[in-house]
Amino acid sequence: MTEKQDILKTLEQVIESRKGDAPDNSYVAKLFSKGRKKIAQKVGEEAVELCIAAAHNDKVEVVSESADLLFHMMVLWSDMGLKPEDVYDELRLREGVSGIDEKKARGEFVDGL
């Protein structure tokens, strides 16, 4: 694992360590205290902000919003008892498979993307 990849492991550990903290002491703990619905809402907000930044061709904001989205996704995964490895495993399963074929296998409409 490279040093840059280690940051995801470090972030995962920080998120897990803050699960039981007082909401006044930690943003992560505050998210957990508000529940999955609020965490999922934050994921959605960050995804929209990322899309807006991309539509404006603002690379600095795309990087920033991507980091926010990834962080909030990891909080959501943790809340659901998932690990980043669960997502990595799914990506590995899809490796070498055409995106169109993979979507068809799941019954998703692909013509209009």
Instruction: Report the candidate in 4, 1, 3, 13 with the shortest Cα–Cα distance to residue 74.
Output: 13
Residue 113 lies in a domain: no
User: Is 111 within the bounds of a domain?
Assistant: no
Provide the domain limits for residue 88.
3-98
Quote the CA–CA distance of 82 and 90 in Å, as a whole number.
12
For the cut 70, the answer to whether the pLDDT of residue 113 exceeds it is no
* Per-residue pLDDT at 47 exceeds 90: yes
Mean per-residue pLDDT for 87-97?
87
Task: Show the DSSP H helices in 1-113 as ranges.
Answer: 3-17, 27-34, 36-55, 59-79, 84-94, 99-105
- Identify whether 107 is part of a domain: no
Is residue 103 in a domain? no
Quote the pTM value. Answer: 0.82
For residue 105, pLDDT beyond 80: no
Residue 50: give its domain's CATH number. Answer: 1.10.287.1080
Domain count, the chain: 1
Assess if residue 66 is contained within a domain. yes
Percentage, residues of the chain above pLDDT 90: 74
